[in-house]
Amino acid sequence: MPIYAISDLHLSFANPKPMDIFGRIWEGHEERIARNWGEIVGKDDTVLVAGDHSWALRLEDAIPDLDYIAQRPGKKILIRGNHDYWWRRESTTRIQKQLPESITLMQGHAVVIDGIGITGTRGWRIETCEQGDKGEVTDEPGGAKVMQRELIYLERGLKEIPADVSKKIVMLHYPPFTTDLEPTGFVDLLKKYNVHTLVYGHIHSGSYLEGDIDGIKYRLVSVDHTKFKPVQIA
């Protein structure tokens, strides 16, 4: 069965946050995603959802957004995004028990679907903000520790994938490169474990990488990049 990917749904049914403040392209995005998803994805297909599912700060407020995802066709595999405050990594198991069977929360573990190994985690990178004509690197406290933790999660998931799979797919929220498009430590792991395809989100404007890079297929799947459609990756 096909495997699709999509990211950055940015839902907010409990406490609506209009997304069209980020541009007219976002007008009615929930309806457009639902319509496109229903036309493209079958009930037995798999959809990788690469983070930033909900603006909610608490799980109870994220439930309507998660219900929206659950109602879409296919088996959904979710990773955390930088805005998914409702999903604390320490609470993953507890949250999973409250969700419909069609949704799997993934963080540093792996699954095999039709002979394809899939793993994922949020990832991390230091963002750059422009102040005047001088770029300044900003990082939250403990950023280096977060980076190391996410690298450990990714390698743990890659190690769980059996050797006999036909290909390996990695899902990250943050791209595995800096704002200057320089590779981070995540790329080293992708190469070390012979990953076939990387899907990522987070980016809505500016530079990005896509296509075959050193033997790895990069796919940016933020919804505003994919015309609010899931894209087939396998």
Residue 19, both tokens: 């997304």
User: Residue 18 — very low, low, confident or very high, per pLDDT cuts 50/70/90?
Assistant: confident
Cα 201 to Cα 51, 82, 211, distances in angstroms? 7, 10, 14
Listed in sequence order, the DSSP H helices in 129-228 are 143-160, 185-192
- Domain spanning 3-232, CATH class: alpha beta
Q: Are 121 and 153 in contact (CB under 8 A)?
A: yes
Q: Where are the domains of the chain?
A: 3-232
- Place 132 in a pLDDT band, splitting at 50, 70 and 90: very low
Q: What is the pTM (predicted TM-score) of this model? A: 0.93
Which of these ranges, 46-50, 88-92, 159-163, has the smallest mean pLDDT?
A: 88-92
Q: pLDDT class for 136, splitting at 50, 70, 90?
A: very low
Whether 130 has a pLDDT exceeding 60, the answer reads no
**Strands of 46-49's sheet, edge to edge?**
103-105, 75-78, 46-49, 3-6, 231-232
What pLDDT, on a 0 to 100 scale, did the predictor assign at position 127?
65
Q: What average pLDDT does this structure show over 32-58?
A: 98
Given the DSSP bridges, would you call strands 211-213 and 216-220 parallel, antiparallel or unpaired?
Answer: antiparallel
pLDDT at 87 over 80: yes
Q: What is the mean pLDDT of the chain?
A: 92
CA–CA dist 176, 172 (Å, integer): 8
pLDDT higher than 80, residue 152: yes
